[in-house]
Amino acid sequence: MAKTFFTAVLVAAALTGCSLFSESRPKDWTRASGDPDQTSADLSACRQQANAVIKRDADIDSDIAAARSNQSDPTRSPVLPGVDSFEREQRHDRIVNGCMRQRGYVLPQEKSIFE
Protein backbone atom coordinates (compact mmCIF):
# COMPACT_ATOMS: atom_id res chain seq x y z
CA MET A 1 0.00 0.00 0.00
CA ALA A 2 2.75 2.46 0.92
CA LYS A 3 4.68 1.54 -2.22
CA THR A 4 1.62 2.28 -4.41
CA PHE A 5 1.06 5.62 -2.66
CA PHE A 6 4.73 6.58 -3.07
CA THR A 7 4.62 5.67 -6.76
CA ALA A 8 1.48 7.77 -7.28
CA VAL A 9 3.06 10.77 -5.54
CA LEU A 10 6.23 10.39 -7.62
CA VAL A 11 4.26 10.29 -10.88
CA ALA A 12 2.19 13.32 -9.87
CA ALA A 13 5.35 15.27 -9.02
CA ALA A 14 6.94 14.36 -12.34
CA LEU A 15 3.88 15.48 -14.29
CA THR A 16 3.72 18.73 -12.36
CA GLY A 17 7.36 19.40 -13.17
CA CYS A 18 6.75 18.89 -16.89
CA SER A 19 4.12 21.63 -16.87
CA LEU A 20 6.74 24.18 -15.85
CA PHE A 21 8.41 24.04 -19.24
CA SER A 22 5.72 25.81 -21.22
CA GLU A 23 3.48 28.77 -20.64
CA SER A 24 -0.21 28.04 -20.58
CA ARG A 25 -2.20 30.50 -22.66
CA PRO A 26 -5.78 30.72 -23.75
CA LYS A 27 -6.38 29.76 -27.35
CA ASP A 28 -7.19 32.99 -29.11
CA TRP A 29 -8.08 32.26 -32.70
CA THR A 30 -7.44 35.22 -34.98
CA ARG A 31 -8.27 36.04 -38.58
CA ALA A 32 -7.59 39.23 -40.47
CA SER A 33 -11.23 39.78 -41.39
CA GLY A 34 -12.78 38.20 -38.30
CA ASP A 35 -14.70 39.89 -35.55
CA PRO A 36 -15.21 38.30 -32.12
CA ASP A 37 -18.82 37.31 -32.81
CA GLN A 38 -17.92 35.56 -36.07
CA THR A 39 -14.95 33.84 -34.42
CA SER A 40 -17.21 32.58 -31.63
CA ALA A 41 -19.78 31.32 -34.13
CA ASP A 42 -17.11 29.57 -36.22
CA LEU A 43 -15.56 27.99 -33.14
CA SER A 44 -18.97 26.74 -32.02
CA ALA A 45 -19.62 25.23 -35.48
CA CYS A 46 -16.21 23.53 -35.47
CA ARG A 47 -16.85 22.10 -32.00
CA GLN A 48 -20.21 20.73 -33.14
CA GLN A 49 -18.51 19.14 -36.14
CA ALA A 50 -15.87 17.55 -33.91
CA ASN A 51 -18.52 16.26 -31.50
CA ALA A 52 -20.40 14.64 -34.40
CA VAL A 53 -17.24 12.93 -35.68
CA ILE A 54 -16.29 11.65 -32.21
CA LYS A 55 -19.83 10.33 -31.63
CA ARG A 56 -19.90 8.63 -35.04
CA ASP A 57 -16.58 6.92 -34.36
CA ALA A 58 -17.71 5.82 -30.89
CA ASP A 59 -20.88 4.34 -32.39
CA ILE A 60 -18.86 2.45 -35.00
CA ASP A 61 -16.47 1.13 -32.32
CA SER A 62 -19.45 0.04 -30.23
CA ASP A 63 -20.98 -1.82 -33.17
CA ILE A 64 -17.69 -3.57 -33.92
CA ALA A 65 -17.26 -4.54 -30.27
CA ALA A 66 -20.80 -5.95 -30.17
CA ALA A 67 -20.16 -8.00 -33.30
CA ARG A 68 -16.88 -9.31 -31.93
CA SER A 69 -18.49 -10.35 -28.65
CA ASN A 70 -20.45 -12.97 -30.61
CA GLN A 71 -17.35 -14.56 -32.13
CA SER A 72 -16.69 -18.25 -31.69
CA ASP A 73 -12.93 -18.06 -31.01
CA PRO A 74 -12.52 -17.65 -27.22
CA THR A 75 -8.83 -16.76 -27.55
CA ARG A 76 -9.65 -13.45 -29.23
CA SER A 77 -10.63 -10.57 -27.01
CA PRO A 78 -14.07 -9.08 -27.72
CA VAL A 79 -12.83 -5.70 -26.51
CA LEU A 80 -11.45 -3.32 -29.08
CA PRO A 81 -8.30 -1.42 -28.38
CA GLY A 82 -10.24 1.39 -26.73
CA VAL A 83 -9.84 5.06 -27.03
CA ASP A 84 -9.53 6.62 -23.61
CA SER A 85 -10.83 10.06 -22.71
CA PHE A 86 -7.43 11.70 -23.19
CA GLU A 87 -7.17 10.35 -26.74
CA ARG A 88 -10.75 11.47 -27.47
CA GLU A 89 -9.99 14.98 -26.20
CA GLN A 90 -6.82 15.13 -28.28
CA ARG A 91 -8.69 14.01 -31.40
CA HIS A 92 -11.49 16.50 -30.69
CA ASP A 93 -8.93 19.31 -30.40
CA ARG A 94 -7.24 18.26 -33.66
CA ILE A 95 -10.58 18.28 -35.49
CA VAL A 96 -11.53 21.69 -34.09
CA ASN A 97 -8.08 23.11 -34.89
CA GLY A 98 -8.22 21.78 -38.45
CA CYS A 99 -11.69 23.18 -38.97
CA MET A 100 -10.70 26.62 -37.71
CA ARG A 101 -7.58 26.65 -39.89
CA GLN A 102 -9.71 25.76 -42.92
CA ARG A 103 -11.82 28.81 -42.12
CA GLY A 104 -8.70 30.99 -42.20
CA TYR A 105 -7.94 31.32 -38.49
CA VAL A 106 -4.55 30.99 -36.82
CA LEU A 107 -3.45 30.40 -33.25
CA PRO A 108 -0.61 32.28 -31.60
CA GLN A 109 2.50 30.16 -31.13
CA GLU A 110 3.16 28.96 -27.60
CA LYS A 111 6.59 29.93 -26.36
CA SER A 112 8.81 28.00 -24.02
CA ILE A 113 9.77 29.73 -20.77
CA PHE A 114 13.37 29.41 -21.97
CA GLU A 115 12.90 31.76 -24.93
Q: What's the pLDDT tens digit per position in 27-56? A: 688 888 878 899 999 999 999 999 999 999
Residue 8 lies in a domain: no
Note the pLDDT of residue 63.
Answer: 85
Average pLDDT for the chain: 73
Task: Please provide the size of the chain in residues.
Answer: 115
Residue 19 has pLDDT above 60, yes or no: no
* 29 alpha carbon, distance to own chain's centre: 18
Residue 4 lies in a domain: no
Note the pLDDT of residue 101.
Answer: 94
Residue 105 has pLDDT above 80, yes or no: yes
Q: How many domains does the chain have?
A: 1
Q: 100 lies in which domain range?
A: 39-108
Q: Look at residue 22 and give its three-state secondary structure.
A: strand
Residue 79 lies in a domain: yes
Q: Look at residue 106 and give its three-state secondary structure.
A: strand
